[in-house]
Amino acid sequence: MANKPGLTVVKIGGNVIDDEAALKAFTVDFAAIKGYKILVHGGGKIATKTAEGLGITAVFHEGRRITDKPMLDVAVMTYAGGINKNITAKLQALGNNAMGFTGADGNLILSEKRQNAAVDFGFVGDVVAVADELLKTLLLQNIVPVFCAITHDGNGQLLNTNADTIAAELAVACSAHFDVKLLYCFEKKGVLTDVENEDSVIKNLTFETYRELRAQGTIHSGMLPKLENCFNALNRGVNAIGIGSPDMIQGKSVYTLITP
pLDDT of residue 173: 98
Domain residue limits at 95: 6-185
The CATH code of the domain that includes 120 is 3.40.1160.10
Last residue of a domain, one of 185, 216, 240: 185
213-258 per-position pLDDT tens digit: 899 888 887 788 888 889 999 999 999 999 999 999 988 889 999 9
pLDDT of residue 2: 62
Based on the fold, state whether residues 173 and 193 are members of the same structural domain: no
DSSP 250: G
125-177 per-position pLDDT tens digit: 999 999 999 999 999 999 999 999 999 999 999 999 999 999 999 999 999 99
Based on the fold, state whether residues 58 and 143 are members of the same structural domain: yes
Based on the fold, state whether residues 135 and 150 are members of the same structural domain: yes
Last residue of a domain, one of 185, 212, 247: 185
Based on the fold, state whether residues 126 and 79 are members of the same structural domain: yes
Based on the fold, state whether residues 99 and 153 are members of the same structural domain: yes
Rounded to 10 degrees, what is the CA torsion of 117, 122, 126, 128?
90
Tell me whether residue 92 is in a domain. yes
Based on the fold, state whether residues 117 and 154 are members of the same structural domain: yes
pLDDT of residue 1: 47
pLDDT of residue 249: 93
Tell me whether residue 1 is in a domain. no
| Cross-strand bridge partners of residue 241 | 182, 258
Based on the fold, state whether residues 119 and 225 are members of the same structural domain: no
Based on the fold, state whether residues 197 and 105 are members of the same structural domain: no
Q: Is the pTM of this model over 0.85?
A: yes
Tell me whether residue 242 is in a domain. yes
pLDDT of residue 78: 95
Minimal CA–CA distance to 13: which of 183, 258, 220? Answer: 183
